[in-house]
């Protein structure tokens, strides 16, 4: 950690900072420049996060040197991790397509969509039983009934199930049926929930919050990893910007950036990332070109009747076309589908 003092800082103030650094078991290293005095704290600076040196009025700025996460970093584990979702490997050479309805709406509807996913080449079935909705007046999901339908769809198709856990009190139910536990963007910093899924033993799909930096996403992953669960897949699904022509701005540069900073697999959700069905296929192709380990898309045979997020759902036929184009792009970047 580098502590930059104000030009007018006195010797006594410099000594105060040094003393404080040493009280945390670190060594202090003073460097007097022509315009500023700078103090380096040598050792594991993470302990200093609880001693906020920038609260001293004579400190101008505090610059961390190390990343605040550790277990999630590529430095900690140079090889990429592969997460096993009930037999489907995410993070290897093969790009994994997860698809399904936004919300589970009915037994028949889900089974039909599951067949589309299977026959199109999707390898994990997604579908929400508990739905976080901006308005209290919209469909909130079928709850445990929806989970049972997902289980039935798995029996029918063999596809592992990905579904969202919104509240710790539903954890037992969700863990009974799901193979991949999804933490939604709005809960990325629900630290109690992260601790909960960290202490259990199923893979977690952690979605980036719409106003979270990549660094904060990796810190959220660190909550899960530090509880002992290393099976974490990250998911880019769009961030909030001033552009209102799309629902979110899909930040695809996060894919190669995360690959550089972390060993965890990364998938992309272009359905939520754009909010418009006609942008989903181009952005799914782009995601794989950028190096994503998988994509997650929403499908609905009658989007205009979907109880949730219809405008961003692909028709089954469009999904099929997308899958065949994805194959070509995956090959062009040395992957398979």
Number of residues in contact with a second copy under rule CB under 8 A: 109
Question: What is the distance between the alpha carbons of residues 2 and 48, in angstroms, rounded to a whole number?
Answer: 11
Is the Cβ of residue 32 or residue 158 nearer to a second copy in the bound state? 32
Compute CA distances 311 → 122, 219, 280, 300, whole Å. Answer: 21, 32, 11, 10
List the interface residues with a second copy, window 311-330 (CB under 8 A): 311, 313, 325, 328-329
Helices (H), the chain: 11-23, 107-120, 144-157, 171-177, 191-199, 214-225, 254-261, 270-274, 277-289, 316-332
List the interface residues with a second copy, window 216-255 (CB under 8 A): 216, 219, 222-223, 226, 239-246, 249-255
List the interface residues with a second copy, window 65-84 (CB under 8 A): 65-66, 68-69, 75
- 195 and 46 in contact (C-beta within 8 Å)? no
List the interface residues with a second copy, window 184-223 (CB under 8 A): 186-187, 189-192, 209-211, 213-216, 219, 222-223
Q: What would the two tokens of residue 39 be?
A: 């103090």
- 183 is an interface residue for a second copy by CB under 8 A: no
Residue owning tokens 């469909």: 139
Question: What is the distance between the alpha carbons of residues 154 and 124, in angstroms, rounded to a whole number?
Answer: 9
List the interface residues with a second copy, window 92-111 (CB under 8 A): none
- Provide the total of helices (H) and of strands (E) in the chain, helices listed first: 10, 14
- 172 is an interface residue for a second copy by CB under 8 A: no
Question: What is the distance between the alpha carbons of residues 39 and 13, in angstroms, rounded to a whole number?
Answer: 12
Contact range with a second copy by CB under 8 A, out of 84-92, 93-101, 134-142, 199-207: 134-142
List the interface residues with a second copy, window 25-54 (CB under 8 A): 29, 31, 33-36, 38, 40, 42-44, 46, 49-54
- 117 is an interface residue for a second copy by CB under 8 A: no
- 55 is an interface residue for a second copy by CB under 8 A: yes
Q: How far is the CB of 296 from a second copy (least distance, A)?
A: 16
Question: What is the distance between the alpha carbons of residues 185 and 187, in angstroms, rounded to a whole number?
Answer: 5
Is the Cβ of residue 118 or residue 291 nearer to a second copy in the bound state? 291
Q: How far is the CB of 141 from a second copy (least distance, A)?
A: 10
Q: What is the DSSP letter of 247?
A: S
Is the Cβ of residue 85 or residue 296 nearer to a second copy in the bound state? 296
């Amino acid at each position: 950690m580098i502590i930059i003092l104000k030009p007018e800082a006195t010797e006594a103030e410099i000594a105060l900072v040094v003393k404080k650094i040493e009280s945390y078991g670190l060594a202090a290293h003073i460097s007097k420049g022509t315009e500023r005095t700078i103090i380096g704290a040598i050792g594991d600076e993470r302990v200093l996060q609880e001693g906020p040196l920038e609260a001293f009025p004579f400190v101008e700025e505090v610059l961390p040197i190390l990343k605040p996460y550790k277990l999630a970093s590529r430095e900690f584990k140079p090889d990429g991790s592969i997460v096993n979702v009930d037999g489907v490997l995410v993070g290897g050479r093969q790009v994994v397509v997860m698809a399904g309805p936004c919300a589970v709406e009915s037994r028949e509807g889900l089974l039909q969509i599951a067949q589309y996913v299977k026959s199109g080449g999707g390898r994990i079935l997604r579908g929400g039983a508990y739905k976080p909705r901006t308005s209290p007046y919209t469909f909130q999901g079928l709850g445990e009934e929806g989970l049972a339908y997902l289980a039935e769809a798995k029996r029918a198709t063999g596809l592992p199930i990905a579904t969202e856990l919104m509240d710790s009190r539903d954890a037992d139910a969700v863990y009974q049926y799901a193979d991949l536990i999804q933490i939604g963007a709005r809960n990325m910093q629900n630290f109690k929930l992260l601790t909960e899924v960290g202490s259990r033993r199923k893979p977690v799909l952690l979605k980036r919050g719409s106003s979270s930096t990549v660094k904060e996403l990796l810190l959220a992953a660190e909550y899960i990893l530090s509880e002992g669960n290393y099976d974490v897949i990250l998911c880019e699904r769009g961030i909030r910007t001033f552009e209102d022509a799309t629902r979110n701005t899909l930040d695809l540069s996060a894919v190669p950036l995360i690959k550089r900073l972390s060993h965890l697999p990364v998938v992309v959700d272009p359905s939520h990332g754009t909010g418009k069905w006609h942008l989903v296929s181009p952005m799914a192709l782009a995601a794989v070109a950028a190096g994503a380990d998988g994509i997650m898309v929403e499908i609905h045979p009658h989007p205009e009747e979907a109880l949730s997020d219809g405008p961003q759902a692909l028709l089954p036929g469009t999904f099929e076309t997308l899958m065949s184009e994805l194959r070509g792009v995956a090959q062009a970047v040395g992957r398979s589908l």
